[in-house]
Structure 1
Amino acid sequence: MPNAPSPDKMSPKDFTWPFWFTLPLYPYSRRRTLRQEVIKDTIWTFDQMQGVFYVIVPIRMTVVKLNEGGLLVYAPVAPTRECIRLVKELVAEHGDVKYIILPTISGLEHKVFVGPFARQFPQAQVFVAPNQWSFPLNLPLSWLGLPPQRTHVLPADSSQTPFADEFDYAILDTIDLGPGKFAEVAFLHKRSHTLLVTDTIISIPENPPAIVQLDPYALLFHAKDQAADIVADTPANRRKGWQRITLFALYFSPSALEVPRWAEVLRDAFKAPERSFKAYFGLYPFKWRYDWLRSFDAVRGDGRLFVAPILQTLILNRAPQETINWANKVASWNFEWIIPCHFDAPIKAEPRQFRQAFSFLERQPAVSAGVFSSSSYPLPEEDFQLLKNIDQGLNKSGIVPPPKERL
C-alpha cells in the first residue's frame, strides 16, 4: 500500500514546494508524496501529482537498494520535506543515496527537480543522459542547478559506470525535433528483473491512482457532463473523471470530445453551482459524446503497454530506425516488471510486450523466432486527429523536421 501520514499530523510546509514557479503546474506549491514498496526491501516508488487545467497524472521517482548498500534514485521528484523524510527513512535502513539519475534531456518536469534533490544528498553522484539542452538558451548543467563537481554524463558503454554490476542501460539516441531534442535512458535492475523507463512506455489503470485521489477535486471536475452538474464524491464519479482526464492527457482532444460555442459556455457558467476561481468561474467548455468510454477502453485494453499518442505522432516517428534499434536492445534483456514515470506502475510485462508497443513504427510488425507478436494493438485513428493537425502545422511552418516513413 502507498505510504503517507495523515495530513492532519503534518504541517503544510511538509508538502510545500516553494520553487513551483520554475514549472508552474497544478497543484503548484502543494505537492504530496506517496511512497510504495514495489519489491520488498529492494525497490520503492515515490508518486507526486502534476497537470494543467485539472488534467492531472502521476509523476514518479524510483529508488533502488544497491547490493553493496546505499540507494540509486531514478528521475527525482520535487524534494519537499515530506518526500525527503520518506527517502531518509530508507537511508536510515539501507544506506546513503549514492547515485541520482536524470534519464531524459527534454522532460522539464523531471529535469527541474534534479538539482534541488541532489543538494539534499551532498554525497550522491549525479548521472545525466547525454546531450542535455535547455530552452530558450542552452545553458551549462551547473546553471540548471546540477552540482558541477559531482555531475557526470552517462557513458555510451554502461559497463563504465560504478553501478554496472547491478544495472544495464540503453540510451535512445537524441532525436532532433528542430528547436528541441528528445532522448531517454532505460535502466535494467538485473537482480530484480525490473525495467525503469521515463516517458516512452505507459499503461493506463482503470481507476485513479492513489496519489490523484488524495484530493479528488480534479476528478470530480472532469466527471461533470455540464457546468450546472453537482457531482457527488463517489468511487464511480472519481473513476469517470479519471478516465476523461486520461483521454485529455493522451490526445489533448479525443474524437469523443466536442467544444461548444463560447456563447453557450458563458451562458452555462452562470448556471454553475460554483463560480469561484478554483472552479474556473463556472466555465466548463467540454461536451462529451455518449460513447466517449470507447476511447478510454481502447487505451486501457487489459492493462496493455503502449507508446503515448503524443510520442507516436510528434516525436518517435522522426527517428523510427533509432527507436526500433533501442527497443530491440531493451527487449533483449530479461525483465518481468516495468516502472514508468507516469500513469500505472509497477506493470507486470515481458520483453516481447515492450517490443510490440513500438510496432506502430513498422509497416510489418516485428516477428523474431516466435518471440514477438505480429499484433500492433492500434489505437483508434480518429482520436489522433488533433495531434495530426498539430504535426502538419509544425511541418508546414518548418518548425520541426517531417516524420520519416515507417520501416
Structure 2
Amino acid sequence: MVAGITISSPKSTILQNPISLKEPNSSFPGGSLKGFSLPFKHRNKIRDNVSLVVAAAISTPSKTSTTSTSRGRFYFNFTGFPFPLGPFLNRSTIRTEAVKGSIWLFEQEQALGFSSVSTNIRMTVIKLKSGGLWVHAPIAPTNECIQLVKELEAPVEYIVLPTFAYEHKIFVGPFSRKFPRAQIWVAPRQWSWPLNLPLEFFGIFRAKTLTDEDLSTPWADEIEQKVLSSPEVGIGPYVEVAFYHKRSRTLLVTDAVIFVPRQPPKCIGKESLLASAKNGLAVKLLSKGKEVPQEPVVDNQMNRQKGWERMVLQILFLGPSNLLEPNASFAQMSQKLIVSPIVKTLVFSKVPEKVRDWIDRIARDWRFKRIIPAHFAAPINAGRSDFLAAFAFLDDLLGEREFTWPSLSLLFTSLMGKAASYFPPDDMKTLSSLDQFLVSVGAVKKTVSGRKRAA
C-alpha cells in the first residue's frame, strides 16, 4: 500500500555548479527495484482529488505555517519489492538550476529498504518555449517539492516516465494528481515484478506511449527522444528513453550512465551517512576474517565520507572485501562517467547489439555538451566522446566498431573507456556471484548475443 501525505513547505533554492570530467576535484546515482502494492481506500473527503489505487498521494491542507520544513517533507511510503523504498516518512527536496532559466534539478534521498544504503533520485524540469514545464522522472510530491516546482511560476504541461523501473514509476501517479491538466507520457513495454500489473494499478491514467524518434510529440521541436527497448534479459525487458534538449545541448538519461561524486549529494542526511559508517553486519560478513573495530561513530567529516563510500560500493555491488576500508575501491570508480557495474553486468552485456545501436545513434545525432542522469552527480560536463568511452566495454562483446570518426580518435576513446570501466576482479566478486545466481534461477539470461567472433 502506498499513501503520500504531504503538508506545506518552505521556499528554498540551492545553486550548484556542473560536474566536469575535466575537473576531477569538483564536488557536487544503476539497478532498479520492481514492486507492487494493494489498493488503498480512503473513506474521508479531502480537498484534493484522491485516486483509490496504488501510489495514491493523499494531500491534506496544512494548518501550520509554510515555514514548517519538517511537515512539508512528510511523505508516507512503504512500497517496493523485495525491499521497500525509504525514507518512509520524511523526504527533503533540493532544487538546483542546471541551465539558467531553462533546466532545474530536484533531488531527494532514496534508501534501500531498512538498510543504511541510500542514494539520490533526481527529477529534471525543463521550461519549454510555450512557457510550460516538461517534467522528467517525477519524485515524491511532498509539499516542499510541489512548492519548489510552483516557484518556477509556470504550468506543468507534460510529465514523462522515461523507464520501466519501479523507483521512478511509483511517484508518477501521485505527482500527476498535483497537476491534473498535465499530459502523462510513459516509456513503452511497462512491466512490474513479481506481478505484471497495469499502469492504472500504480495510479497512472490516460498515459501516452513514448516511441523512438517520434516527431509528433508536442515537444518535438525542442526535445528529441530515442528509445532503448531490448529483448527480455530475464524476467522482463530493459527499457529506457534518452532525451536531447536542443537549445541547451543537454542529454537526459535515467540509468544508462552515472558519475559518482567524491562527496555525497546534499539531499542525503548525515544520519544515513553515519549509519553506513558503522561497522555493522555487512562489514563483518565481508571483512574476510579481519578484525572489525566496534568503536562508536563520531559525527565528523571523515565518518560521513566513509559512510558515503560504503553506500556507493553497496549500491553498485562493488568492493565487498573493502567495506572495512573502502577508499581504494571508491577511488577506482568515482569522479568519471561510467556505466553502473550492475546495469552493465546484468543488462547491457546481455544485449550488446541493442545497446550499441542506441548509444551510437545518440552520439551520431545529438551534439550534447552536458549529461543529466537520474542518480548521483549532475549536470555532468561531458560530450559524445565521453559518452562513447563509457560504453567501450561493448567492443569486447561485439568486435571492431564501424564508425566514421578518425581511427586515432576512436582508438583513444575506446582505450579511455576500457580503463575507466575496469574494476579489479576482487571488487567484482559479489556482482559476479549475483549474476550467476540470477542466471541459475532464470531471472537473467546466461547467453549473450553478439559476442566477439574468434579470429
Pair in the same fold by TM > 0.5: yes
TM-score, length basis structure 1: 0.84
- TM-superposed deviation, 1:77: 0.3
* Equivalence for 1:401: 445
- TM-superposed deviation, 1:396: 2.8
- TM-superposed deviation, 1:32: 0.8
* Equivalence for 2:27: none
What is the CA–CA distance in structure 2 between the aligned matches of 1:11 and 1:358, rounded to whole Å?
A: 42
* Equivalence for 2:256: 200
* Equivalence for 2:298: 232
1:147 equivalenced with 2:205 (yes/no): yes
Match of 2:85 among 2, 25, 49: 25
Contact 2:76 2:89 in 1 (8 A): yes
- TM-superposed deviation, 1:137: 2.9
Contact 2:235 2:442 in 1 (8 A): no
* Equivalence for 1:80: 142
TM-score, length basis structure 2: 0.75
Q: Percent identity?
A: 42
What is the CA–CA distance in structure 2 between the aligned matches of 1:362 and 1:406, rounded to whole Å?
A: 9
Computed over aligned residues only, the root mean square deviation of the Cα atoms, in angstroms, reads 2.1
* Equivalence for 2:130: 68
What is the CA–CA distance in structure 2 between the aligned matches of 1:211 and 1:353, rounded to whole Å?
A: 27
Contact 1:175 1:183 in 2 (8 A): no
1:336-378: CA deviation from partner (whole Å, max 9, x where unpaired): 1111110111111011111111111222575732443121122
Q: Which stretch of the first structure deviates more once superposed, 305-314 or 129-138? A: 129-138
Relative to structure 1, the CA distance from residue 140 to residue 398 in structure 2 (aligned partners, 3 Å threshold; closer, same or farther) is closer
1:123-149: CA deviation from partner (whole Å, max 9, x where unpaired): 11111111111223323322321122x
* Equivalence for 1:48: 108
Secondary structure of the residue aligned to 2:160 is strand
1:181 equivalenced with 2:215 (yes/no): no
What is the CA–CA distance in structure 1 between the aligned matches of 2:447 and 2:327, rounded to whole Å?
A: 30
Match of 1:374 among 411, 414, 435: 414
- Higher fraction of helix: 1
Secondary structure of the residue aligned to 1:156 is coil
1:117 equivalenced with 2:175 (yes/no): yes
Match of 1:355 among 378, 385, 388: 388
1:312-359: CA deviation from partner (whole Å, max 9, x where unpaired): 111111100000111111112111111111011111101111111111
- TM-superposed deviation, 1:98: 0.7
Match of 1:313 among 345, 353, 366: 345
* Equivalence for 2:47: none
Secondary structure of the residue aligned to 1:184 is strand
* Equivalence for 1:283: none
1:2 equivalenced with 2:14 (yes/no): yes
Stretches of 4+ aligned residues off by more than 6 angstroms: none
Give aligned pairs, total. Answer: 362
What is the CA–CA distance in structure 1 between the aligned matches of 2:110 and 2:400, rounded to whole Å?
A: 35
- TM-superposed deviation, 1:207: 0.8
Q: Which stretch of the first structure deviates more once superposed, 193-202 or 168-177? A: 168-177
- TM-superposed deviation, 1:153: 0.2
* Equivalence for 2:49: none
- TM-superposed deviation, 1:11: 5.0
Secondary structure of the residue aligned to 1:9 is coil
* Equivalence for 2:433: 389
1:13-68: CA deviation from partner (whole Å, max 9, x where unpaired): 31111344467222212111000111111110000001221111000000001012
The structure, 1 or 2, with the larger RCO (C-alpha pairs under 8 Å, 6+ apart) is 2
Match of 2:159 among 90, 100, 103: 100
- Amino acid aligned to 1:317: S
1:249 equivalenced with 2:315 (yes/no): yes
* Equivalence for 1:274: none
* Equivalence for 1:134: 192
Contact 1:37 1:45 in 2 (8 A): yes
Contact 2:159 2:185 in 1 (8 A): yes
* Equivalence for 1:331: 363
What is the CA–CA distance in structure 2 between the aligned matches of 1:379 and 1:236, rounded to whole Å?
A: 25
- TM-superposed deviation, 1:8: 10
Which consecutive residues of structure 2, in runs of 5 or more, have no partner in the other structure? 1-12, 16-64, 280-291
Contact 2:233 2:351 in 1 (8 A): no
- Amino acid aligned to 2:328: R
- Amino acid aligned to 1:101: V
Relative to structure 1, the CA distance from residue 321 to residue 395 in structure 2 (aligned partners, 3 Å threshold; closer, same or farther) is same
Match of 2:96 among 33, 36, 61: 36
* Equivalence for 1:299: 333
What is the CA–CA distance in structure 2 between the aligned matches of 1:138 and 1:21, rounded to whole Å?
A: 15
1:60-113: CA deviation from partner (whole Å, max 9, x where unpaired): 0000010121110000000111111111111x2xx21111110001x1000000
1:14 equivalenced with 2:72 (yes/no): yes
* Equivalence for 1:267: none
- Amino acid aligned to 2:253: V
- TM-superposed deviation, 1:254: 2.4
- TM-superposed deviation, 1:393: 2.1
Which consecutive residues of structure 1, in runs of 5 or more, have no partner in the other structure? 258-287
What is the CA–CA distance in structure 1 between the aligned matches of 2:198 and 2:343, rounded to whole Å?
A: 27
